[in-house]
Homo-oligomer: A and B are copies of this chain.
């Protein structure tokens, strides 16, 4: 399997059901950029053993919030984070914490993107709506990740 194919496989593992749609949108924008993202980001980096996927998604959401110009990417990685077992509460905590390092406007804008991603996720995963206050079935996946 090529680096590209392995990257796509990793991306599917992280992004879940919406992976194909994200991939198609990215490819329609630029096949080359898509290839590098799958090869370098998802095959080379996200597949490295030294850090679990939960922590990787937490790091990514923190960084995207700090960058301040990546609302679309925050949405994508909020879904990814939920899929690998980060809870809604934990994602919200990361955004709140970013107020300390990137200021309130960056935190407000990221919170808006996260909220939209939560709504999209709930629509596609009706059974998980009660996650915030109840049992997080996704968390189990994370432990083995």
Binding site for B on A (CB under 8 A): 26, 29-30, 32-33, 36-37, 40-41, 44-46, 48, 50-51, 54-56, 58-70, 72-73, 89-90, 92-109, 111-112, 115
Contacts and interface: CB of A to CB of B under 8 A. Distances in A.
Per DSSP, chain A at the interface is: helix
Contacts of A103: 67, 99-103, 106
A41 B67 CA distance: 20
A67 B101 contact: yes
B108 A64 contact: no
Contact of A69 (B33, B69, B95, B96): B69
A33 B48 CA distance: 13
Given A32-B96, A51-B90, A67 B66 contact: yes
Nearest to A56: B97
A26 to B, nearest CB: 7
A96 B41 contact: no
A40 to B, nearest CB: 5
Given A36-B99, A51-B93, A73-B101, 16 more contacts: A29-B108, A29-B111, A33-B108, A40-B100, A45-B96, A50-B90, A50-B92, A51-B97, A55-B90, A56-B97, A58-B58, A60-B101, A63-B66, A100-B104, A102-B103, A103-B106
